[in-house]
A = this chain, B = another copy of it.
Amino acid sequence: MSEILFDRIALIGIGLIGSSIARDIKKLGLARQVVISTRSAETLKRAEELELGTAYTTSAAEAVEDADLVIVSVPVGASEAVARQIAPHLKAGAIVTDVGSTKASVIAQMAPHMPENVHFIPGHPLAGTEKSGPDAGFSGLFKGRWCIFTPLPDTDRAALDRLSAFWKALGSMIDEMDPQHHDKVLAIVSHLPHIIAYNIVGTADDLETVTESEVIKYSASGFRDFTRLAASDPTMWRDVCLHNKDAILEMLARFSEDLAYLQRAIRWGEGDKLFELFSRTRTIRRSIVQAGQDVDVPDFGRHALDK
């Protein structure tokens, strides 16, 4: 058991991320009280059944009363509404953070509402799976993963250090960058891959010449890798697309340009160009495995899991 880092923590939103945080807090004993809030009475009931906190309410305003740390884990499009609700009820000196996948938009939505005597520190833990909801969370989700802060210019370093200590207790590694750069980085490492995955699964679903049952039956030859990302939470990803539009459109334009080049090489039988690209991309995979960011077993170790 670690030391108590905050007396009272309020979790606004209790999906995959919120409920994983709750499980870690409980397991590690990082807070005396954990108040859980979500708009849906049904989800709240489930959180209570799972014993994820010490108190439960559908009112975000009520949840943040007296809280030393407030963690907002909602689809990014709901950030402003939450900020408006909680602002008048925040305790002086409280730290307010979030876990949203886009940062410039979340700051634009929340910062104007934050009282001056509160530390608002936008954050983004780079962790998750394709599952969603309070049952999908698990302790250890953030272990060995990055948590990126995009502090505002006037951020109090002591508050940032306290919040860092919290994420480190969950096993995360900490990084800092400015919100605009964060949004560009995430557009390529996360948003574009999800959009492309959703798109290819949609294309396959719409074919007339190949049946859906054939696509499913033979999916192990490559297609299934995309379906994992394309099974992610639709609300979360709709909001990401709407709230990181510029960076995503830039990455999409580049991707499409490169794809047109590749398509042309296929049409004209330019084997050298294809071979050059197909060789170059191997190196990146190797670096990712070396950096400990993926498992070093063929086929994601599915064969090992089968046994």
Contact = CB atoms under 8 A, between A and B. Distances in A.
Interface of A: 126-131, 136, 138, 140-141, 144-146, 148, 181, 184-186, 188-207, 209-210, 212, 214-232, 234-235, 237-238, 241-242, 245, 248-249, 251-252, 254-256, 258-260, 262-263, 265-267, 269, 271, 274-275, 277-282, 284-288, 291, 293-295, 297-306
Given A206-B258, A258-B202, A186 B266 contact: no
Contact of A274 (B141, B204, B242): B242
Contacts of A217: 146, 291, 293
Given A127-B220, A189-B222, A206-B258, A284 B199 contact: no
B298 A300 contact: no
B306 A216 contact: no
Contacts of A299: 129-130, 228
Nearest to A267: B249
Nearest to A278: B234
B285 A295 contact: no
A134 to B, nearest CB: 14
A222 B203 contact: no
A185 B199 contact: no
B284 A205 contact: yes
Contacts of A226: 193, 196, 225
19 contacts: A144-B306, A190-B222, A196-B226, A199-B262, A199-B277, A202-B277, A203-B258, A204-B284, A216-B284, A219-B288, A219-B291, A219-B294, A222-B229, A225-B229, A227-B281, A227-B284, A228-B285, A295-B306, A301-B301
Contact of A284 (B192, B193, B222, B230): B230
A256 B256 contact: yes
B223 A242 contact: no
A206 B249 contact: no
A300 B185 CA distance: 24
A235 B214 CA distance: 27
A220 B130 CA distance: 12
